[in-house]
Amino acid sequence: MDRIRLVGGNELHGEIPISGAKNAALPLMIASLLTREPLVLENVPRLADVTQLEKILENHGVDIAVHGRKSAALDGQRMTLQAAEIVDTTAPYELVSTMRASFWVIGPLLARAHEARVSLPGGCAIGTRPVDLFLYGLRELGAEIDIDEGYVVARAPKGGLRGARINFPKVTVGATHVIMMAATLARGTTIIENAAMEPEVTDVAECLVKMGAKISGIGTRTLTIEGVDELHGATHEVVADRIEAGTYAMAAAMTGGEVLLKNAKAIHLQAALDKLTAAGARVTSEANGIRIYRNGNGIQAVDVETDPFPGFATDLQAQFMGLMTMAQGVSHIRETIFENRFMHVAELARFGADIKVDGQLATVTGVPQLKGAQVMATDLRASVSLVIAGLAAKGETVVNRIYHLDRGFERLEDKLSAVGAEIERVTG
């Protein structure tokens, strides 16, 4: 199994190109199920989750062509997806269980084929992650839903889904994607209240509009979708990955140096950039990206609470905790989105970090110097917090079980070594 070996202590200097966002690319690929015409996506990242979703979509009858899959350049792939016919409305356990987002096919399948049989999802083990709000929304659109042997079996009413008012009791990115996609082909108007307004939701909404969907309120808490009879093909570029950008910003803050995060947009991660600034990094937004800089000054302890966008992203919590392990003083990190997202704490302790967890609250007392260690990747974002802690630690670090990293970070070791990190992948 692959590992990452790195030696800490180098400052990072240079440019890191930020890839297309995994969390936008996956629902955009799924949106191809909504039309018989080709959907062309530019800037699709090369990630294991993307390849896995290709398999799932091909099983439903989507024809997929990828341009640039093997390219050594760090630009994204161009992917053409065409679902001329939906040949199978079942998403089987073997394909769905490794990736939660694959459950989202349920929305487009129901909307276009009027039925879906989708395995309950897997994905990162960061809490119970129920699907009740997806089912609530789909039922409101008129679907009849049963759970049968681990599968959600859903049927649209005669004539297809119908528009409805859906008020989510809590903000959910996944269910907002699914209901928004399903509603594009429903009869009548759907209003989603308390919708997620993450940049990836906005990106998908903008692509759906290019495909002929009628959506207003994009980027706000209330989405209004007027159903149309059919959608058509379109070309869309995947938005830059704010989580990848935030991760490298934290890496640069930890090691010191100066890095330009090319293509990243500050408004997509302002909450995290504000915390980095408070911690002592210098952050400037430029025309072609975000520049992050820290000279010899120490890192200050800063408290953080995760929240739906525009708040501090749960997907950056582990990395920020990594940074706080070497801050001057005590910081408090509260996770409000998931109940089990502190699995990186035990691994960070192996670097000599001082972290105490009480329920959803972690208290981090900074130490003057982390020391390299053998650590184990547990989930996607936790894994990368171990890499960035290793970059700042003294001596050698080996991160085991890195398949989690390959799910979400494109060419991590190439990007980091290009800016001066001593890092390599060890195969086998």
State which of residues 338, 340, 417, 418 lies at the interface with ligand UD1 (CB under 6 A).
Answer: 338
State which of residues 10, 19, 23, 82 lies at the interface with ligand UD1 (CB under 6 A).
Answer: 23
Omega of the bond prior to 310 within 30 degrees of 0, cis? yes
| Token output for 182 | 């399903």
274: Cα separation from own chain's centroid: 20
Catalytic residue among 118, 124, 343, 421: 124
d(Cα 248, Cα 243) in Å, to the nearest integer? 9
d(Cα 127, Cα 105) in Å, to the nearest integer? 22
d(Cα 264, Cα 239) in Å, to the nearest integer? 9
387 Ramachandran zone, left/alpha/beta (phi>0; psi -120 to 50): alpha
Does residue 203 touch ligand UD1 according to CB under 6 A?
A: no
State which of residues 109, 337, 391, 416 lies at the interface with ligand UD1 (CB under 6 A).
Answer: 337
What is the helix (H) or strand (E) element at residue 428, kind and residue range?
none
Does residue 130 touch ligand UD1 according to CB under 6 A?
A: yes
User: Is 6 or 200 the residue whose CB approaches ligand UD1 more closely?
Assistant: 200
Span near ligand UD1 by CB under 6 A; candidates 45-53, 126-134, 295-303, 360-368: 126-134
User: Is 128 or 427 the residue whose CB approaches ligand UD1 more closely?
Assistant: 128
Q: How many CB atoms are closer than 10 A to CB 210?
A: 14
Span near ligand UD1 by CB under 6 A; candidates 65-73, 87-95, 169-177, 279-287: 169-177
Does residue 317 touch ligand UD1 according to CB under 6 A?
A: no
User: Is 248 or 351 the residue whose CB approaches ligand UD1 more closely?
Assistant: 248
Does residue 204 touch ligand UD1 according to CB under 6 A?
A: no
Q: Beta partners for 193?
A: 167
Does residue 154 touch ligand UD1 according to CB under 6 A?
A: no
State which of residues 4, 33, 133, 373 lies at the interface with ligand UD1 (CB under 6 A).
Answer: 133
Active site residue 207: no
User: Is 75 or 132 the residue whose CB approaches ligand UD1 more closely?
Assistant: 132
Among residues 316, 261, 286, 284, the alpha carbon closest in space to that of 74 is found at 261
Sheet holding 330-334, edge to edge: 304-305, 330-334, 361-365, 354-358
State which of residues 36, 78, 129, 214 lies at the interface with ligand UD1 (CB under 6 A).
Answer: 129
d(Cα 349, Cα 164) in Å, to the nearest integer? 49
Q: For binding to ligand UD1 (CB under 6 A), which residues are involved?
A: 23, 100, 127, 129-134, 170-175, 196, 198, 308, 313-315, 337-338
What residues act catalytically? 124
